[in-house]
Structure 1
Amino acid sequence: MKSKGKLMVILSLVLVFGLLITGCGADDTKSTTENSSDENSAAKVKVNIFQFKVEVKDALEDAAEKYMAENPNVELKIQTVGGGDDYGAALRSKFASGNEPAVFNVGGPQDVADWKNKLEDLSDQSWVDLAYNGVLDGVTVDDKVFGLPFNQEGYGFIYNKSIFKKAGIEAESIKSYAELKAAVEKLDSQKEELGLKSVFAFPAKETWVTGLHLSNAALSNEFENVLKAYESKEVDFKYGEGLKKLIDLQADYAYKPDGTKGSLNAVDYATQVEELFSLEQVAIIQQGNWAYGSIAGIDKQVAQNVGFLPMPVVGSTEDSIPVGIPMYWAVNNAKSKEVKDAAKDFLSWLYTSEQGKKIVINDFGFIPALRGYEGPELEPSDPLARDILKYSNQDRTMPWVFMGYPSGWGMNVLGTNIQSYLAGDMTWDQLVKDSQKEWAKAREE
């Protein structure tokens, strides 16, 4: 009995020991699998992209998925900050936190100067030779190129073709301030028949519309290009009277919430584009081709029936619209070679591969700043983009020089002064003198 008992004890111990071995083996297998997974993840090159253009957020993320499917060794992570948020401030905060992105955006000469120590030289990239004349000027220093242009954008006075037709106005004939003013007066005289609240919607609350884009119509003629604006120690307002006329024309014939010009300072982008224009309560707005999506989101039929009128500056260019580059892709030179190479390859794939070019045109809705987009599948589909190409082909464009303004001057100084002018708190002469003083002050710092 004792021998039998001992045998049972021995068998029990063997069984327990075997279970322990089996359990340990299972744990080791799981650990090996996890380690293998970690190694695969670690082997991927991770590229963090910090970008501003909210309109293409979803399409850009889809493009990243397509790229990663072709390049499984690369992991792209995209963060978008823009719209109503200050991208520049968010970018500075991002770098200050130590969590520097591999790819980010710069706007032109001032941004290039501000971020010079973080910018990778992209001069050797294949797309450089495909760039249209002048589109790389704002990010070129000492013959080195520091940014890939997002796209071309244009703006001007967007008009409703149906309303113009009902009013008996031939929009194609408008090529001067006098002709624009005559058309505005004709529309105003028929407001009731046309169902309009007013001729214009003027969003003076948005100082980027007034202090940057509207002012550019005059200052582009003074500075000729963005580099001259950036290098200038002073601003003369050589065509200031032409700028005043454009502001006054809009203000005089604009929708005013409480009937006063001061109330124009409460009109924002959403009120201008999504409410008044898209619902056909006004006939003209100053905006760019980026507004097409907002209009189409409200009324697709209205969106397909719009076009651009010029931004006429009396005494200078009167038949053109401003066309330029809204932002550039930049690569962080502080990242590892592997990360920088992956970042460059993704950007090149996006803008030069056949699949990427279709994404840029059809999904982003961009007007390319690079050659090589010929063919029916790569033609812009919306009427505002087509109009920009028409103006470009007719050599009726002016450059974006506002990218060369002193940091913050356009929005925080000139745009704010225009608000004071509309409210009656500042004369035009005071506006000019104060804006000149602040420009010179900024250049001294």
Structure 2
Amino acid sequence: MRFKKALSLMTVTALICGSLVGCSSSKDSSGGSASGDVTVDIFQFKVETQEALQAAAKKYEESHGGVKINIETIGGGNDYGAGLRTKFQSGQEPTIFNVGGPQDVEDWASKLEDLSDQPWVNQAFEGTLGSVTTDEGIFGMPFAQEGYGFIYNKQIFEKAGIKPEEITTLAKLEEAIKILDSKKSELGIEAVMSLPAKEKWVTGLHLLNVALGNEFASGKEAYEAKKLEFKYSDQLKKILDLQAEYSYMPDGTKASLNSVDYAMQTEQKFATGKVAMIQMGNWTYQAISGVNEEIGNNLGILPMPLEGVNEDSIPVGIPMYWSINKDKSDEEKAAAKDFLNWLYTSDEGKEMVINDFNFIPAFKGYEDESLQPKDPLSAAVLQYSNDGKTMPWVFMGYPSGWGENVVGADIQKYLDGSMSWEELVKHAQDTWEDERK
């Protein structure tokens, strides 16, 4: 996630719009009729899968005559939430859009169609719908499962003589980082890591989640919490300081970490072999392999070790949900529901979800060997999940904008020296409580 919000990526400063037109006819897979001239406008956040989504839409159009699907994508370095608000305020309301969890469900309640009657609901894995479920219904369809941690270059680790399977604690991680740092010239790297502090979703959502994902059991619990204890703030500081100390600094100062964005971190530094590790998730596979296929095929994920708590685990969760605009015509809503159901439950759609989107599905029905994740990062996330070495994603339960605009911004101040860690923690607690009043 970018999501997200955050969440998402690949020459990430672009706003990309594509429209697709198809032909022929077919009865829709949900049992209703998607025939007739109907246009479905999709406004979505996941930049790295926009081409795959466009291809899926085209394939759907070819077998569903009269349906046209327009796709507009904004994410990565751009604020999806702000973009979505602009779309609605301008009167260009999409048919399908994305929500992240309890806070978004509350914020967009007047626009969300109840999806409780959709055929995919009973196929969703346990726990994946809780963040978008209220007494009134189910208001989102899971994108996929995603996980993040410290992505590493296996070739560099092997050359340095480091065994990643032994890195299961913060102390072991720090030891490995120091070895890499001592061998930079030999390994041909500029720095051990790259921290994109310009991307406040990386720090204020994902990094912060390592602490709050162990304070709260779920996004819903975080959403309902009136106060933030921030019980693991000291441990979080250690993870941030470790990254900052050993990350690429454009001008040699920690303040310059605030100028590093996703593209510089992932595509310019990591994907070119100039750094050995980055904090990022399985969604980056396509961007990395697009720059350097050899590096893309030699990736692994290390834990995000919160000292003394879940040191061998990574955060795993649902990055975003598909939602449908309740104010659209019945024909548009029927076509939108049918497209989403087709994408995730038809044989043709499932093959694309795995092989083109590189998703880890959040639904049953993908047990066949041919539908197992092919890229190394998704396979690694799935292995962490199977081993029970995960912590929840709770950042979608933060107050609206709080993670990025408060904590993410304050981490930038901490890095440039204008705010102490103690001040950051106090400000986080106070603003959380103010937002919950």
Is the structural similarity TM-score above 0.5?
A: yes
Unpaired runs of at least 5, structure 2: 1-34
Distance (whole Å) between structure 2 residues aligned to residue 264 and residue 87 of structure 1:
23
**Alpha-carbon distance between aligned partners in 2 of 1:330 and 1:140, rounded to the nearest angstrom:** 12
Q: Which amino acid aligns with 1:196?
A: I
Map 1:22-37 → 2, pairs under 5 A: none
Which structure 1 residue ranges, 5 or more long, are not aligned? 1-41
1:337 is aligned to 330
Amino acid in the other structure paired with 1:169? I
Q: In the alignment, what sits opposite 1:191?
A: 184
Cα deviations by residue, 1:247-280 (Å, 9 ceiling, x for unpaired): 1111111122222211211111112111221121
Aligned to 2:43, what secondary structure does the other structure show?
strand
Amino acid at match of 1:94: K
Contact 2:48 2:287 (C-alpha < 8 Å) held by counterparts? no
Range moving further from structure 2, 357-366 or 305-314: 357-366
**Partner Cα separation in structure 2 for residue 183 and residue 104 of structure 1:** 42
* Aligned: 1:131 with 2:112: no
Structure 2 CA distance for aligned equivalents of residues 117 and 143 of structure 1: 12
- Which is strand-richer, 1 or 2? 2
For residues 36 and 387 of structure 2, the distance between their equivalents in structure 1, rounded to whole angstroms, comes to 51
Report the AA paired with residue 230 of structure 1. Y
TM-score normalised by structure 2 residue count: 0.89
Deviation at 1:121, TM superposition (A): 0.9
Equivalent residue, structure 2, for 1:67? 60
Partner of 1:280: 273
In 2, the alpha carbon distance for the partners of 1:152 and 1:103 equals 20
Deviation string 1:398-434 (CA, Å, 9 cap, x unpaired) is 1110111111111111011111111111111111011
**In the TM superposition, what is the alpha-carbon distance from 1:148 to its structure 2 partner?**
0.5
SS of residue in 2 equivalent to 1:361? helix
Q: Quote the Cα distance in structure 2 between the aligned partners of 1:124 and 1:94.
A: 27
Let me know the Cα RMSD of the aligned residues: 1.4
Say if 2:97 and 2:325, in contact at 8 Å, map to a contact too.
Answer: yes
The equivalent of 1:420 in structure 2 is 413
Once the two structures are superposed, the pairs formed by residues 42-441 of structure 1 within 5 Å of their partners are: 43-142=36-135, 144-441=137-434
CA distance in 2, matches of 1:131, 1:253: 40
Q: Which amino acid aligns with 1:190?
A: K
For the Cα contact (< 8 Å) 1:230–1:406, is it kept in 2? Answer: yes
Q: Please state how far the C-alpha of 1:166 moved relative to its aligned partner.
A: 1.3
Cα offset for 1:186? 1.5
Q: Distance in 2 between matches of 1:112 and 1:369?
A: 19
How many Å separate the matches in 2 of 1:297 and 1:154? 20
Partner-residue secondary structure (3-state), 1:283: strand
Q: How many aligned residue pairs are there?
A: 403
Per-residue deviation, 1:143: 6.5
Partner of 1:35: none
Structure 1 CA distance, aligned partners of 2:258 and 2:95? 39
Q: For residues 76-119 of structure 1, give each alpha carbon's deviation from its aligned partner in whole angstroms, at most 9, with x where no partner exists.
A: 22222223322212222222222322211111111100111111
Whether the aligned pair in 2 keeps the contact of 1:241 and 1:314 (CA below 8 Å) is: no
Regions of 4+ moved over 4 Å? none
**TM-score by structure 1 length?**
0.88
Percentage of pairs with the same residue: 59
Alignment check: 8 A CA contact 1:239 1:316 kept = no
Q: Higher helix fraction: Structure 1 or Structure 2?
A: 1
Provide the rounded CA distance (Å) in 1 between the counterparts of 2:237 and 2:278: 17
Deviations 1:13-63 (A, max 9, x none): xxxxxxxxxxxxxxxxxxxxxxxxxxxxx9412222222222222221221
- Does the 8 Å contact 2:193/2:248 carry over to 1? yes
Is contact 2:77–2:199 with CA below 8 Å preserved after alignment?
Answer: no
Deviation of 1:212 after TM superposition, in Å, equals: 0.7
